[in-house]
């Protein structure tokens, strides 16, 4: 075997330059879909509402469970897919009337009773509680989410994620006030359409909320009138109208509502109690620069809040860590291994004098003690070999699922324009990758001489989904107790069960059948009847706590920046669509995990510790320990005060960490296994022992019955002298 050091500086430089060169060209590649909506002037444009969201509670609530204006014929549900139900979406129609290229001024929607006034030491009404919990509206026009435009005395802030707030808390009296007026700002792009002579497409949607206390008088039905240009009927007479609501001004000559009108002297905000009149303006603006095909760019880039340079610097730092590990591996491991292999590859065979051969073996106190464990290095795990095989199979399944999702996201198949596509793809792809789970589990279990193959494959099909479904059902009870839209319907639960039972389970069995047809992955020893070599006392630098810290912090540091933005996307409603950078960082994570695990395994074997299976798995998966610790710190940003929210957050993060632990553990085990096979297959020490490749088959090996926890006595396949029978 010829061991080569890591990649050269030139290849690293070329990789970095390639990342930088491709970043801008592929950053926002996506397929916006085929349902292009073109409108002609005067066409009605539908405004829909989604569930109210709050980063403080993480419990989405139905929009019409609050005192908001409903359509006269009742709210209608929009058609939703599996992913939207799992995400807690609940899209419905609204009474807001919008027409293409027709500006509207102070249109009246309804008069709502918001509930009793705030009184100290009394439970506030539902609207006040929503405002204090920082709930936000999520409005949709032509599949575009509403950006939030908030104005103060000194600045105007536009935010393209998270919707706009239901209300605000006053700084002076700490009371809640509701936003009962909105400026709906829509940007359109003119196009040539085969259907219409002149057509327009919506390319941007913004909402600027205001709180205006209208002193109004309710009008009876016979007293209501419709203006010449207004599409709606006035249901109230405003006694203190602002300029945009002044009936004495001709409709087309009115100014649109602005911040100065709302805060002028004598004006008060609308308290989140009592009766309130809801109004809105519609403002149309032509946009020649933004086309329909790239209208999502401003949302995905968060309006330039996160430049590509941040991700490029993060990738460069990860490359530095990876190359540093390669250099360390080349200097400390490869050089020493080449010398050891050259020394022991020329030793005499078993037919020569044994004393001449054994005299060349390292002493127990030598630094090249990895040679002394050649009979034990490929022994099955001393404890729980079946569980080890199950964990590796699940890790392989999660690895294949994540890789497939990231690649499809990079190609643009999964994107925010296709609502619920990511949440739909995740359980579906996971079930389809069940064939990988069965194959890997069977290969490992056969490598460990397992006999209960059918039972093991059955466990492989149900154990990880069962844990996830149990946690999911527990979280559903919490959502149901809060009347949340995240409580999925019974039909959705049945779909999940069908996916597991009717798609994943048969594929796991198919993969298990294919895996059992293959030879074992590891090279086993002949003299399995001997007891395992005792493990000598280990120095502190190879102790379990040391390797867990070292092997975990470096991979976590390599993907820390992307981890932050993924967490922000999941918990803060940010848009994350940096799949190109995520794909690069994902591969760097795999490489870094493999390097650190192999280095730790080598140091472990060098000190005479041959029990590396579980140690390699734990060392590789220890990065998720840092992830969970970071999630505890990250929870402080969410301003969580409710016990239910704490349970939702930490249970979700625990399950994510558990899945990533299995995935990284599988990566570390495979990297260590390949490394050990490469090293030990290069040494020809023939003392009743010879390493076998997978092509040699397993007919010559002693088969062991592996129970769930320990090795049973082996079958009789040796000669009277206790040596293996030669074929």
pLDDT digits (tens, 9 = 90+) for 445-494: 988 888 888 999 999 999 999 999 999 999 999 999 999 999 999 999 99
Structural tokens at position 452: 């209960």
pLDDT at 7: 44
Burial of 667 (0-12, 13-18, 19+ CB in 10 A): buried
Q: What pTM, to 2 d.p., does this model score? A: 0.84
pLDDT given at position 684: 52
3-state secondary structure of 39: strand
Helices (H), 541-622: 544-558, 560-571, 579-606, 613-621
Per-residue model confidence (pLDDT) at position 604: 85
CA-to-CA distance for 507 and 458, rounded, in angstroms? 11
Tell me the per-residue pLDDT of 435-456, one tens digit each, with 9 for 90 and over. 999 999 999 998 888 888 899 9
Name residue 111's beta-bridge partners.
277
Q: Which two tokens stand for residue 466?
A: 């069962």
Is residue 347 a contact partner of residue 621, using CB atoms and an 8 Å limit? Answer: no
Sign of CA dihedral 345, 346, 347, 350: positive
For the record, the structure tokens of 702 come out as: 């002693």
At residue 637, φ and ψ (nearest 5 deg) are: -70, -25
Give the separation between CA 119 and CA 600, rounded to whole angstroms.
63
Residue 229: per-residue pLDDT:
53
- Name beta bridge partners: 81: none
First to last CA, the chain: 27
201 phi and psi angles, rounded to 5 deg = -130, 140
Cα–chain-centroid distance for residue 483? Answer: 25
pLDDT of residue 706: 42
Write the DSSP symbol of residue 332: I
Residues in the chain, pLDDT under 50:
1-30, 32, 228, 349-367, 525-527, 685-727
Angle at 726 between CA 724 and CA 727, to 5 degrees: 135
Q: Contact, 412 vs 31, CB < 8 A? A: yes
Q: Which long-range contacts does 680-683 make (Cβ < 8 Å, 24+ apart)?
A: 680/374, 680/377, 680/378, 680/523, 681/1, 681/523, 682/1, 682/341, 682/345, 683/340, 683/341, 683/344, 683/345, 683/371, 683/374
Q: How far apart are CA 426 and CA 81, in angstroms?
A: 13
Domain spans, the chain: 47-295, 367-692
3-state secondary structure 492-552: HHHHHHHHHHHHHHHHHHHHHHHHHCCCCCCCCCCCCCCCCCCCCCCCHHHCHHHHHHHHH
Place of tokens 């880039």: 301
d(CA 441, CA 395) in angstroms, rounded, equals 10
Residue 415: predicted pLDDT = 84
Q: Which stretches of 65-210 are DSSP H helices?
A: 82-87, 126-132
β 167-169/104-113 pair status: unpaired
- C-beta separation of 175 from 189 below 8 A: no
């Amino acid at each position: 075997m010829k061991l080569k050091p890591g990649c050269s500086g030139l290849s690293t430089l070329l990789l970095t330059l390639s990342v930088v060169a491709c970043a801008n060209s592929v950053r926002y590649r996506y397929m916006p879909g085929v349902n292009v909506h073109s409108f002609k002037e005067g066409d009605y444009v539908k405004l829909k509402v989604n569930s109210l969201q709050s980063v403080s509670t993480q419990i989405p609530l139905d929009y019409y469970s609050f005192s908001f204006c409903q359509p006269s014929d009742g709210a209608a549900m929009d058609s939703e897919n599996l992913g939207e139900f799992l995400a807690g979406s609940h899209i419905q129609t609204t009474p807001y009337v919008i027409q293409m290229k027709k500006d509207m001024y102070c249109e009246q929607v309804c008069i709502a009773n918001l509930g009793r006034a705030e009184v100290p030491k009394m439970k506030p009404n539902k609207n006040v509680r929503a405002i204090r919990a920082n709930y936000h509206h999520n409005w949709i026009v032509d599949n575009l989410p509403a950006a939030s435009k908030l104005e103060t005395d000194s600045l105007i802030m536009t935010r393209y994620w998270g919707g706009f707030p239901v209300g605000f808390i006053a700084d002076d009296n700490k009371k809640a006030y509701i936003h009962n007026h909105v400026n709906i700002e829509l940007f359109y792009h003119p196009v040539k359409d085969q259907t219409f002579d002149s057509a327009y497409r919506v390319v941007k949607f913004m909402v600027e909320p205001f709180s205006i206390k209208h002193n109004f008088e309710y009008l009876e039905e016979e007293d209501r009138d419709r203006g010449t240009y207004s599409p709606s009927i006035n249901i109230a007479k405003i006694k203190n109208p602002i300029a945009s609501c002044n009936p004495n001004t001709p409709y087309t000559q009115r100014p649109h509502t602005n911040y100065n009108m709302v805060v002028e002297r004598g004006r008060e905000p609308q308290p989140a109690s009592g009766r309130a009149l809801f109004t809105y303006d519609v403002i149309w603006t032509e946009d020649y620069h933004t086309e329909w095909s790239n209208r999502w760019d401003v949302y995905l880039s968060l309006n330039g809040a996160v430049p590509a340079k941040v991700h490029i610097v993060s990738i460069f730092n990860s490359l530095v860590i990876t190359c540093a590990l390669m250099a360390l591996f080349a200097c400390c491991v490869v050089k020493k291994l080449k010398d050891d292999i050259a020394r022991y590859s020329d030793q005499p065979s078993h037919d020569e004098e044994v004393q001449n051969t054994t005299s060349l073996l390292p002493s127990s106190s030598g630094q090249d003690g990895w040679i002394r464990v050649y009979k034990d290095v490929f022994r099955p795990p001393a404890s729980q070999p079946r569980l080890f095989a199950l964990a590796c199979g699940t890790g392989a399944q999660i690895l294949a699922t994540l890789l497939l999702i990231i690649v499809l996201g990079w190609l643009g198949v999964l994107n925010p324009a296709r609502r619920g596509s990511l949440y739909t793809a995740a359980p579906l792809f996971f079930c389809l990758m069940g064939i990988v789970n069965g194959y890997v589990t069977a290969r490992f279990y056969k490598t460990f001489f397992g006999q209960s193959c059918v039972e093991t494959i059955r466990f492989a099909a149900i154990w990880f989904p069962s844990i996830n479904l149990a946690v999911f059902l527990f979280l559903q009870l919490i959502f149901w107790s809060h009347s949340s839209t995240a409580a999925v319907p019974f039909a959705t639960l049945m779909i999940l069960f069908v996916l597991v039972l009717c798609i994943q389970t048969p594929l796991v069995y198919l993969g298990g059948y294919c895996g059992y047809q293959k030879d074992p992955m590891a090279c086993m020893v002949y003299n399995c009847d001997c007891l395992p070599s005792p493990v000598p006392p280990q120095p502190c630098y190879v102790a379990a706590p040391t390797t867990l810290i070292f092997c975990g912090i470096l991979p976590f540091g390599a993907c820390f920046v992307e981890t932050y933005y993924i967490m922000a996307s999941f918990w803060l409603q940010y848009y994350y669509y940096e799949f190109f950078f995520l794909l690069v960082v994902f591969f760097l994570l795999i490489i870094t995990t493999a390097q650190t695990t192999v280095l730790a395994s080598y140091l472990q074997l060098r000190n005479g510790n041959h029990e590396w299976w579980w140690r390699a798995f734990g060392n590789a998966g220890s990065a998720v320990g840092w992830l969970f610790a970071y999630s505890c710190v990250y929870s402080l940003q969410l301003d969580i005060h409710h016990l239910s929210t704490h349970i939702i957050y930490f249970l979700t993060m625990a399950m994510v960490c558990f899945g990533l632990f299995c995935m990284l553990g599988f990566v570390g085990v495979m990297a260590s296994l390949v490394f050990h096979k490469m090293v030990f297959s290069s040494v020809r020490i023939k003392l009743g022992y010879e390493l076998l490749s997978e092509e040699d088959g397993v007919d010559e090996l002693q088969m062991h019955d592996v129970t769930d926890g320990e090795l049973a006595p082996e079958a009789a396949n040796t000669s009277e002298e206790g040596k293996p029978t030669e074929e």
